[in-house]
Structure formats: structure tokens, C-alpha cells
Amino acid sequence: MLYYMFNKDIDTGANFLEEKFAKKPIVAEANKAVLHAGYHFAETLEEFDITYRIKPHPEMKGRYRNITGNTAAAWGLMAAAEKSRTGTIPGIIPDHTGH
């Protein structure tokens, strides 16, 4: 659905899946089928009056890291611990019950 909403070329996603699951063609085909089904579902849903096209910023070329929310939260907590100079991660309560 996101490929439809953001006007992305679905072949880019399909090619990525083929490369990622090159050693598991059945998994690649299953994922591509879901990708296409989601795209076509969004296309026929008639709920998206507006789609978006986000062009790359010409001055922001370079390599970027793609991280999940969990990783971002963990890095944020580690940075907070380092800035606090206590070496502890705020929000974490040690378990002293022995469980």
C-alpha cells in the first residue's frame, strides 16, 4: 500500500525481494505476491484521494542508515546514559528479586 501512496515503482520492491531471498525463491515469490496484492488493493480501494511524491533532496546525497524504532529507542537510551555520566540507562529498573 505504501508503494501506491508514495508513487514508488513497485519493481524496485520486487527486485529488492528477489535479491534478499535469492536462495529462497519460494519466499521471494510469496513476498512479491503480497507486495503486488497490497499495491493493487490500495489502487482499487478508492480511499486515497491524494498520493504523495517525495523527490530526493539535491543537496542531501550520501549514505544513510535505515533503522527501526526499537533500534532508535535503544540508541537514544544509550546516548542519555552517556550524557548523564552515570552509566545507567534511565527508565530501566534493575530486578533485585532474583527472577
Q: Give first-to-last CA distance, the chain, whole Å.
A: 43
Cell of 26: 519460494
This prediction has a pTM of 0.56
Among 57, 75, 78, CA closest to 65: 75
Q: Looking at residue 15, what is its pLDDT?
A: 95
From first to last of its 99 residues, what are the pLDDT tens digits of the chain? 888 888 889 999 999 999 999 999 999 999 999 999 999 998 888 787 777 887 877 887 778 778 888 888 888 888 887 887 776 665 666 555 655
Q: Looking at residue 13, what is its pLDDT?
A: 93
Q: Looking at residue 22, what is its pLDDT?
A: 95
Residue written as grid cell 537510551: 77
Residue 77, amino acid: L
